[in-house]
Structure formats: C-alpha cells, structure tokens
Chain A
Amino acid sequence: MHHRKLLLIVWILVFFSLFYFSKERLVSAGLPELQDRPFGLPFAEPPGPDTWLLVQPYGNTVSAFYQRSSTYQAGQGLHFGIDLASRCGFPIVAIGDGIVAKVDAKEHGSAPHNLMIDHPNGYASFYGHLYETPNLSPGQQVHRGEVIAMVGDPDESCTSRPHLHLEIRNAGAYNRAYNPINLIEADWDTLALTGSSGFSFAQDLNEPHRWQTLRDQPEVQFWGPLANDYANPWPLEWDR
C-alpha cells in the first residue's frame, strides 16, 4: 500500500514537471499557445511595403499617453486597439466567424465608417476608419477570411494616415477592450519590427516594468478612470 502511494506521488510529480517544462518551452521559444488566440489577422495578404504594416500596438503607447486626456480619454488613456497602416481601398477580412452587429455605429468612434462583428466566443471585433460604409447588414453572417470592408483614412484624404484601427471588445455590451495581440494568431514580434522605429510604452517611474511588452497590456473599461495619469512619467511631459 505504501509503495502504491509512493508510486502515485512519483507520477504526479512527473506529470506536473513535464507539464511545467513543456509550457515553459512554448513560451521561451516565442511560440503562441494557439488555444488562446482564436482569431486571425484582418488582412489576407502578408505584411510588407505593398500591403500593410503594424504602426501602433494596443495599450499604454507613448502616443496614447500624450493624448490620454483627449483622443484616448474614453479608453482610460490607452490605445484600445491596434493600428495597421495600408492604402485606401485595401481589403479587410473578418478575423473570425461571426454575425454583423453594427454598421457605422458613430457612438464607437473611428470615423468615417466602422463595423462591429459579434463572435460566438463572446468577443466582438471592431473595424474602424473604413473607406466606405461596409456592404453588410446587422444580423448577416460572415466567415473568417471573408472580405468585409476596405481601409480608409480618418482624415478622409487618403494621403494623410490611412489605416485600419482594429479593436476586440466584449460582444453585446461593447464596453471593454482587450489586447488583440493576445487574441490574434500572428508573429507579433516580427510585425513590431517595422512600421515604426520601435514601439515604446509610457512608463510610470514608480513602477517602470509595468505594461512594457506587447502582450502585457491592461484591459480597457471604457469611460473608466485614466490608467496612465502618472505623477512621475517617462517620457517627460513635453508640450505637444
């Protein structure tokens, strides 16, 4: 009996050791855990100078920090989506199967046109700064990879800053935003190489290691208090 208990303990130890180390290996190799990333990229073509580039990640970006009391105040001072630069008219595809929830919902911003799709897993994807009103209606089914809209320019010139602003929210309420980088299957470290000279996040000098990676960024509660109104920030509070 004693030996059986011992054997059981041994196998439990072996099981947890293997589980721990195999998980660590996944992380250390920089490979995504697929079950955690249910969505795909919003473009069918690979990134590049002819197609699209990541130009601003989600979270406590320096750009959002400087605009925390204006453009991004509704999102607790954080960039509550990702920005993918492209040219006007470049086709956008659905990041997952779903049902069209809203078309041109002005209350969600991202002018001039936008689109909200509810997904069965409880998330909603939101596509902003679209070139024109998507040819879709609420209740319509869409499939992952299906062309649903075209990239536009928030300044409506197509020479200023055409890009897709992509958010992932909670379907139904739409009052929380999540880090798309943790939910979309992609090689984000490579995407983050180009489109900018490095992506910096604002630092609270009292806690400078917090929210400093692409993946470690907080959820946004829309209209919640500012998350990054630091007394001692880096970069410094230069006038802009």
Chain B
Amino acid sequence: MDYSKRKYRIYLLVVAVLIAAAAACNLPATIVTPTNTLPPSIIEFPTSTAGVLLTGPAAAQPTSQPAVAIPIPTSTSLPIPTPSPAPSLIQLTSSGCCVSPFWANDGSGIMFIDKPSSEALAGIWGVSLNGGSPSLITTRLGIYSKDMQLLAYPQAEQTYVERIATGERWIIPSKGRAVSFSPDGTWLAWTAGSLEPPFDTAQRQVWISRFDGTEARVICEVTGGGFAGWTPDARMVITGRENGTTVVWLTKEGNGELEEVCDGNIFEMVRAERLRGVSLSPGGSWLAYQVTFSSSPEANGMWVVNTSTLERRKLPVFGAFRWRDDDSLLVVPLELGQEWHLLVQVEASTGEAINLTTPGVTNFKIAKGDWSVSPDGRYVAFVSAVDMNVWVMALP
C-alpha cells in the first residue's frame, strides 16, 4: 500500500469515527425501543384490530345513591417520589405520524384519523400494539356507539344515525348538532341553544332521544353549560352556571327513564368558580376537575369528588390528567422547563400519590396534550414532542 492510499484511508476512518460520534450524541438519552415490534415480554394483547371500538373502558357501575351531606374538603400531602420499575416505551408509528391517537376498545391497538399517502383512503387507521404497518379500519367517520354498530354523522344540516350492518338510518331531531350515545347505545343526548358569547349566560337545553330519534324531549334547561357525559349506568352529567360559579349535576336515574331531570331528579356534585376539565372515572365512582383563578386561592387546584358520597379531596398535584381505572388518576404535573415529563399516579380514595416515571430513566415528552390511557389501564399512548410519532408506555 503506498503512502497516499494509506493516508486517504486514514482520512476516511477519521470521518467515519467523527460522524459516528456525532450520531451517537444524537441518540435520545432514553431507554426506548425504536421499533415497530414489541419485545416478547410486552406482547400480551391480541393482535387483531377487528371489532375495535371507539369509546372508553367499561367498568363496574355505581349503584348507591349519593348522600345529601356535603363533607368538608380534605387536602393531602405532597407526592413522595417512589422508586418503581421503569416503564418501557415502544414506538408505534414513524415519519411523524399521527395525531390524536385513541384506543381500540379491546386495547389491542391504537387508532387515528389518517390518509397515509396520496393514494390511500382517508379514514380511521389502526396499528396493533404488536407493531406493523398501520391498516385501514374504516372510511366511515363520525361518532360511533360503544359497540361500533351505530354511527352518527351530519349531512345537509341534519343529524343521522345509521346502523352500520344494514345501512338503515334515521334522522335525529338535533338539527345537525353532534350527539352522544349512551353506554348501551339505546339513547342519545345533545345540547341545543345559544353558542354565542357571552357563554356563561347562554341559555341551553339538554335533549335526549332513543337512538332512532324517537321520544325526543328536553330534560333540562341550563345556563352556560349542557350535557357533559354518561356514567356507565347511563346517568347523565350536566353542567351549568349559577351566580358566577360552575355547577356539575348528576341525574339520579339513567337510560332515559326521566322526563324532566332538572326538577328534583338531579343532584349537585360540585360547585366552584372557574371550574374546568370535568372527567368521570371509568366506573363512574369519581369525578375529577380543576378549579382555577378562584377568588379563594385555597380552592385552586385539582379535585376529585365521589359521585355517591360526595366526599371531596384536593389532590397534591396539578397538571394534565386522565383516569387509569375507577380510582387511579394519572397526572402529568405542570412544571415548566423540564426536559422530560413526569407521570404521577394519584388514588382518588386516599389522595396517595406515587411517581410512575423517573425523568432521566423513562424519557418522554407529550406533544400538545395528546395522550390517552388504554381501556385496561396498563398502557399510555402519546404523541412524542421529540419526533411527533405515536409511542406507547407500558405502566408498572
């Protein structure tokens, strides 16, 4: 080998080493599995995405009626970081795809609205937790019933509900407004009325009808609020504004048994200034909410209220939250300037909090609040702020 060739090879070697070093520096400082295939220890879900559903997890139904007495709120201590097995992270999509992921009802995969290429069809696409390329689930978009047998959609300023299997469809008298299916799909609810500002004094009506639009009726008139959700036993959460405060009510009965729920068939769960983020636990036992910018500073923060006993508790953390199960709340604390987000679990019944992740060990950062919990509470799907792909975190 002559001198020039040897020097040339040395140059190339130097370049290769430097590029490799730079590339190594670029690797995220996180324990991740940047692959579409789960490690064997995580393959626990069925791989099929057939029969996927679009709503939240089913859970036990609360049966007891709420107590009348309103207990004094209790506060809990600050969370104590608790060492725990580091959750694993799995990358499910690539090339910055996709946004607003949601879970198949059987937890077997993640779905999102997409059109992966110019030749592909737009619709709901899904990717299995076992990895692989996303596949088209359906091109029919709208609001699905929990069993995915019924689909609501707007057309020519009307709202239709269609039975997917037969194509039979009905006009719902909601005048093109969005509707919400009850957990068993037999009833619909929607809010009508003014949506113009000022919002806190707008008069609204909460309607229900059967899924085919029959028996439509107003069950409640409220100011500045409306229908906010169903409990698993089809009672209705309704919000409104009274004297500058927000009120959250729960109907005493469900499944459309009521004619006029606002007159005696409804009870108040929560009343607070600047109340936001109302969210029922999967089993309906607890309601989580936030109070912000209140004239009573001690009221500001995250709270839970028991829907049966009305026991209230202020939680020791404040941030984004999602229910993991009927008692456990997952919270990403609002702490600016952290390279990675933290996931905290808080028990509604006790206020006890533990850290599920340790920044520096489980490194994740959620983009634009885009995260959701699997129906069985074992996984969190999120859009990563680092690469804008959908990732899944297996929780301890």
Residues of A within 8 A of B (CB): 2-3, 6-7, 10, 13-14, 17-18, 20-22, 24-25, 28-31, 46-53, 57, 85-87, 90, 154-155, 157, 159-162, 186-187, 189-201, 203, 205-209, 212-214, 232, 234, 236-240
Contact = CB atoms under 8 A, between A and B. Distances in A.
A198 B25 contact: no
Nearest to B153: A236
Contacts of B367: 189, 192, 213-214
Interface string B304-340: 0000000000000011100000000000101111110
Interface in B1-53: 4, 7-8, 11-12, 14-15, 18-19, 22-23, 25-26, 28
Size band of the interface chain B makes with A? 35 or more
B337 A187 contact: yes
B100 A49 contact: no
Given A159-B244, A196-B369, A49 B301 contact: yes
B199 A198 contact: no
A27 B375 CA distance: 33
Interface of B: 4, 7-8, 11-12, 14-15, 18-19, 22-23, 25-26, 28, 96-100, 113-115, 122, 141-142, 153-154, 157, 159, 175-178, 195, 197-201, 241, 244, 273-274, 276-277, 279, 290-293, 295, 297, 300-302, 318-320, 332, 334-339, 341, 365-371, 385-388
B385 to A, nearest CB: 4
B370 A238 contact: no
B225 to A, nearest CB: 13
A225 B188 CA distance: 38
A239 B369 contact: no
A202 B279 CA distance: 23
Contact of A47 (B241, B334, B341): B334
| Candidate in B15, B369, B388 with the most chain A CB atoms within 10 angstroms | B369
A212 B26 contact: no
A240 B202 CA distance: 13
| Candidate in B274, B293, B318 with the most chain A CB atoms within 10 angstroms | B293
Nearest to B243: A159
Given A30-B385, A160-B198, 7 more contacts: A17-B15, A22-B22, A25-B26, A28-B28, A197-B279, A198-B370, A200-B100
A232 B369 CA distance: 25
Contacts of B277: 197
